[in-house]
Structure 1
Amino acid sequence: MQNLTELPVNATSQKSPSVIIKVFVVIPFFCIFLCCIIVMLHIFASHRQFLDTSRYILFAHMLINDTLQIISSVLLFLFVMGRVKFAIVYCLPLLFISTATFQNTLLILATMSLERYVAIFYPLQCPIAWRSDRIWIIILSLWSVSFIFPVLEYSIKGSDPAVDVFSTPVLCKTTSINSSPIQGLLRAVVNALFFAVVAVIILFTYIRILLETRKLRQDRLSVSKAMHTVLLHGFQLLLCMLAFTHPITEIIIRLYANWLTEDIAFFNYFCFILIPRFLSPLIYGFRDQNLSGHIRKTFLCCSKKKKSQVLSS
């Protein structure tokens, strides 16, 4: 199984045209994603109505989490492409953040689905923990759970007398640190557990809201929107699962194309890890009518300012 910490391996020299092309493919996508995230976070910070709604607070939290995830992933990618080596003590924080945020994304999707469930079934008696002023308790709990398993995974590593974590330079990738079979087994079990729990929660909330839609005659519109939102979380979960399709795609590419190992690894990394991570928060953000309206206004204001500056000059 593969997550964001497993980047392309066997990269060639930094001066290779292939490496330069790969870097120039990844960086523009990263910049576009970062600009969109900054705009959405600016809208959240500028409008009180978003900060008073649990759903938008959780979404803002997902944006921050995915930003940390993408930044750590792209940094790891650039280090591997450039064959940059440094001590494990400096590499470990990047791998830890990438792993923790990957797992936290799944927990956030499940929490957002549960928030829609609570909003529909307990509109007048909302539990205290789900209120906008107390939602930080749930958010801290998500981070705590997502930190537990990376700590266990990176603590199992056996001691190698030839490797000094403070001075021995290594290529910063998962296989350099998590090389034991126990670590691989733990990683596979944890990822399967996370996906199974999140899938069950999303499926449960979707079915319950679907049944409630058929019962209600009033306020069917809001219930229907909640059902579509939960369905979107299921789609986001499928996007996350694309990160684990690399063995299948690798076999298919080897059967029909004579690609180098590092090219296959980059194809899997870009198409099934980076692009789904770019699309997941953007689809949800631009789908929301309130948020998308503010996004359009922000871009229109920016374009008008640029035009006025050009005309004045």
Structure 2
Amino acid sequence: MFSLQQVSGNVSRVFIYRDTFESAVAKNVFLVLLGLAINYINGLLIHTYRKHEMFHTNPRYILFAHLVLNDMLQLTFSISLFVMSYTSREIICPLCIIILSLSVWTTHNIPFNLCVMAVECYISVCFPLHHARLCTVKRTYGLIGGIWTLTTIIILPDIFILALTKPPEFFVSVVYCERSSVFGHPVILLKRDVQYLFYLSCIWFILVYTYCHIFFAARSAKTDSKKARNTILLHGFQLSLCMLSYVDHLC
């Protein structure tokens, strides 16, 4: 932790508060065990998906399996960065860039995947006669590919800006592996704030739009509509958690 305090006049000092050894070990052990437990449960879900052929022909289950697999990767990279912040505070720059990029990559995939799932539920409830034609397996895999392509386009400019603004020595040095210290150029930060605001607006608009239509359709008390409504509510909660990372950079 960092704390900036005024000492005298215009002179400021930065005090660094570090966890005790016991506290650091407890935090890391707890987080790693929790991550392993969550990934084990997610692994069982993926195993069940692969085991049953019927899931492979349903766009909803395909999107859910992709979400679970992406969550496993995102959790693994995030915990790795957290543990490295205590154990190996400085690592070689290329490895740090790869880990940070993969972490941001998988983090951005989550809200996009949830949005696609919300739209699929919306079509299923509000346009049931067109669902089989619009939500095909081929189009579902195409949308998943589109999600990864879009998040790649989001990340690549940061890497290009980094390559243009940093000296060659930077990429063979050891760095403190944190996004704010590696990708800390003002242009990158400005781009990040703008894109976060854009995503925050678009994703929530899609979620609210689909939820409202499903909610009104669910008033007929049909079972499928109720299930879809509950699914959208769950997506809304998941998106709320994801959007906290966006809001944090805008505040």
TM-score by length of 1: 0.69
What residue in structure 1 maps to residue 230 of structure 2?
Answer: 228
In the TM superposition, what is the alpha-carbon distance from 1:20 to its structure 2 partner? 1.3
What residue in structure 2 maps to residue 54 of structure 1?
Answer: 59
Question: Counterparts of 1:68 and 1:175 in 2: how far apart (Å)?
Answer: 21
Any conservation in 2 of the 1:109–1:198 contact (CA below 8 Å)?
no
The structure-2 alpha-carbon separation of the partners of 1:83 and 1:132, relative to structure 1 and needing over 3 Å to count, comes to same
Paired amino acid for 1:160: K
The structure-2 alpha-carbon separation of the partners of 1:11 and 1:163, relative to structure 1 and needing over 3 Å to count, comes to farther
The number of aligned residues is 233
Question: Counterparts of 2:134 and 2:158 in 1: how far apart (Å)?
Answer: 30
In the TM superposition, what is the alpha-carbon distance from 1:184 to its structure 2 partner? 1.2
Paired amino acid for 1:87: I
What residue in structure 2 maps to residue 257 of structure 1?
Answer: none
Any conservation in 2 of the 1:100–1:147 contact (CA below 8 Å)?
yes
Any conservation in 2 of the 1:103–1:146 contact (CA below 8 Å)?
yes
What residue in structure 1 maps to residue 167 of structure 2?
Answer: 161
- CA RMSD, 1 decimal: 2.3
The structure-2 alpha-carbon separation of the partners of 1:60 and 1:11, relative to structure 1 and needing over 3 Å to count, comes to farther
Q: How does 1:63-78 map to 2 (within 5 A)?
A: 63-78=68-83
Runs of 4+ displaced beyond 4 Å: 10-13, 244-247
Please, which of 226, 236, 239 is the counterpart of residue 237 of structure 1?
A: 239
TM-score by length of 2: 0.84
In the TM superposition, what is the alpha-carbon distance from 1:87 to its structure 2 partner? 2.1
In the TM superposition, what is the alpha-carbon distance from 1:150 to its structure 2 partner? 1.0
Deviations 1:213-267 (A, max 9, x none): 34x5xx72211221221121111111223345769xxxxxxxxxxxxxxxxxxxx
Task: Flag structure 2 segments of 5+ consecutive residues without an equivalent.
Answer: 1-15
In the TM superposition, what is the alpha-carbon distance from 1:19 to its structure 2 partner? 2.0
The structure-2 alpha-carbon separation of the partners of 1:209 and 1:20, relative to structure 1 and needing over 3 Å to count, comes to same
In the TM superposition, what is the alpha-carbon distance from 1:125 to its structure 2 partner? 2.5
Question: Counterparts of 1:128 and 1:88 in 2: how far apart (Å)?
Answer: 48
What residue in structure 1 maps to residue 139 of structure 2?
Answer: 134
Question: Counterparts of 2:94 and 2:134 in 1: how far apart (Å)?
Answer: 37
Question: Counterparts of 1:201 and 1:103 in 2: how far apart (Å)?
Answer: 16
Sequence identity (%)? 27
